[in-house]
Amino acid sequence: MIEAPDLVLPDRIALTDPTPFLAAVTRTPTFHKNLDTLDVVEMWALVALCALARRELHDETRSDVYTRGQSGAGRFAHAVGFAAARDGQDFGASQVDRTVAIQRVAFGSSAEAVAGRIARLAVPDDEESESRGALAYVIDELLRNVLQHSGDPLGAVIGAQRIEAGKGPYTRPTVQVTVADSGRGIAESLRRFHDVPDAKVALEKAIRPHISGTFPEGQTGSIDNAGLGLFFTSEMAKLTASRFLLSTRGGALLLTSDEHEGTHELSFLTPDAPAIPARSPSSSCRSRSRIETRSFR
């Protein structure tokens, strides 16, 4: 049996530059990673790593990610329940005013309840209950989208983190909400009814309204799906001048906003090299990605 390599990453993993993380994971589909080797890791990357390291995955597809709490990143992972979610256990406690702990969501579990807790993290003021309700609806739709289309028998992994203004590159209070799975991927999900030759086409199509793997293009929905989950999420990112990262096999889409100019930028990140087999360790954490950018108002 060939030993999986260590995943080589920069010391700080932040959404301001997701390409090093995405490129490393693409090049090394199964790996070992000690989180104590990192200084900073944000919630979005922890959730993604947790989805790839769930204990029930087959050995040939499961990555080994762990921490002993010996660095800032390791302590944060411990505080938000990384190991419990990885191992399919209940975590319980969470930093209520700062995070919603990493947890699993599957069919039959309450996606709506998790969405409500995350919405309260983002909008704690009861006087803004309507805004909180709208956000909870969008997060619930996003979760249901993943559960319905991913084909992942283990469901999804979700977590949220509130980042205060002035921390790192963040100039205003920010809440990261992340959902991850290890299912069939967006392109494969859409191919039943749509022509999606590659990841770029699939990603661009996936954020349009009424696009789903359950009905053909031109229709506005099926009996239980309107094809609006990713569309609603990307539109909310635009309305709030936020970031939206959508990643799948073969590429990723990153939507960024300029709060002052009122403009948005859509970038497609495509790793240049195919995924390297597990026997070939990564030699660098530098991103090798093509980035195609489009701006719009």
Does the pLDDT of residue 181 top 90, yes or no?
yes
pLDDT band at 4 (very low <50, low <70, confident <90, very high): confident
In the block, residue with structure tokens 């909400």: 177
pLDDT band at 282 (very low <50, low <70, confident <90, very high): very low
Does the pLDDT of residue 73 top 70, yes or no?
yes
| pLDDT given at position 284 | 26
Query: 212 has which bridge partners?
Result: 215
What residue ranges do the domains of the chain occupy? 12-296
275 Cβ contact list (under 8 Å, min separation 6): 26, 27, 28, 29
Inter-CA distances, 219 with 124, 155, 196, 228, 232, Å: 38, 27, 17, 12, 17
pLDDT band at 271 (very low <50, low <70, confident <90, very high): low
137 Cβ contact list (under 8 Å, min separation 6): 115, 232
| pLDDT given at position 67 | 97
| pLDDT given at position 62 | 96
| pLDDT given at position 94 | 63
pLDDT tens sequence across 192-219 = 899 999 999 999 999 999 888 878 888 7
- CA–CA dist 8, 31 (Å, integer): 9
| pLDDT given at position 223 | 62
Comparing 103 with 286, which gets the higher pLDDT?
Answer: 103
CB 139 within 8 A of CB 177: yes
135 Cβ contact list (under 8 Å, min separation 6): 118, 119, 122, 123, 236
pLDDT band at 280 (very low <50, low <70, confident <90, very high): very low
pLDDT tens sequence across 10-69 = 999 999 889 999 999 988 889 999 999 999 999 999 999 999 999 999 999 999 999 999
30 Cβ contact list (under 8 Å, min separation 6): 4, 60, 61, 62, 63, 278
